[in-house]
Structure 1
Amino acid sequence: MAKNTEHKIRAIITGTTGMVGEGVLHECLQHPQVEEVLIINRKPLGLIHPKLKEIIHADFYDLSPIAHELVGYNACYFCLGVTSVGKKEPEYFKLTYTLTMHLAEILSKTGYDMTFCYVSGGGTDSTEKGSSMWARVKGKTENDLMKLPFKQVFAFRPGFIKPTPGLKNAHAFYKYINWLYPIGRAIFPNGFCTLKELGLAMINVTADGYDKQIIDSKDIHLLGAE
């Protein structure tokens, strides 16, 4: 697909202390169209790069003290997330929906034409009525993000993500079953993508748009092609 190489990106990324956020940050720092990256963390990431600015902020449920520092960006790659294992719905809802929407609502009011990319997950329930708690919560988060006045909103629904070699935050689960990746992708391509493809897909939808708001692994393969 044709790419708009003139579009310069200034991105906010959350979740960079986790595997997905670290991988997306890695792609952004290497990409020539990304001019600047702002990361928001509770503790320092420990990375220095000419493109990178970091804000340390403890309370993600109250970002109002740093709202003025979030102005001037045209993309947000929301990679912050938690597992639902062991959590009741009210706790998971707060950690997933409430936290995400708080940042999104602030960013939607900055006056900039922003693309918001939300990392959801394969199996997310857009109807919000299914039996799976996490899928309902993720579905509501996606749906309500798409109601906000952003230039574009995309919900990314990867399945198995192959980590980027050399990065430090890959989950042990992925490290031990990476050998399954070529087999799984060949048999069930909609359930497998690489972290590199995911990061590049976010950059490319920001620059070029896309005709779908729900981005599954097949779309990630297409959008993340170099």
Structure 2
Amino acid sequence: TDSVSLSKNDCYTSNIEDKASKIISECMRRNVINSAYTNMLTKSHKYNIMADKPNINGLEEMKQISRQNLTNLRESLFKLSNKEMAFLDSVLSAKLRATHASDTALVNENNIVTINAKKNLANKEVPLPVRNITSRDITHPVDDEFISFLLEPGAGGKKTINSSGAYIYSFDIKQPAFEQTSYMRLHHSSDIMKADPKQYIRGLSKEAYALLQKRDFNEDGLIFFGNDMRPG
């Protein structure tokens, strides 16, 4: 297992217990999420090309994929116009929230939200609503150790209705629980989006419209982990 140590300066701070708690929490998250990423990369229908590498470190592999994708993205955006740079700056400065829909009230008496992945629900024999199960889920079971969120720009949650559940929960992604464990797959949106982009984005050029209508994205190139999610 990886080791984590406190610095000498940490030992003399008044919030040593808080620092230790954060380190322990990070180690626990790392161990749990590494197992989930390893299973995803070696067993899922999309990533089973790594099935011949049973000893891979799933978390490190995911970070490497993300770093390479971000490098490729920066290289492709090397020369931007002033207008494009201004738009990029506004995107990078926007707050992002992760929203999750459920038919169940997930906040307990201590005001703590507990969300279970599909695998945990199956282990507890909790039935899933039929509307949450698509033919794609049945044909290609993937990532059932993960919990799905939708990214939404802005300071507060604007989504008030969702086909996946009656309750909408919204969280700021700038916190350790997301930065240390989460990844974003943009191809999910590009693959399932059926609506005409012109209905939602004003002033689209013909070039931008054609790009948004494309369906031949390199799915591996649209994955970003942790702090790479925002620039990605």
Task: Quickly name the TM-score band, shorter chain normalised.
Answer: under 0.3
Q: Which structure features the higher share of strand residues? A: 1
Q: How does the TM-score come out when normalised to structure 1?
A: 0.22
More helix by share: 2
Please tell me whether Structure 1 or Structure 2 has the larger radius of gyration of its CA atoms: 2
Q: State TM-score, norm by structure 2.
A: 0.22
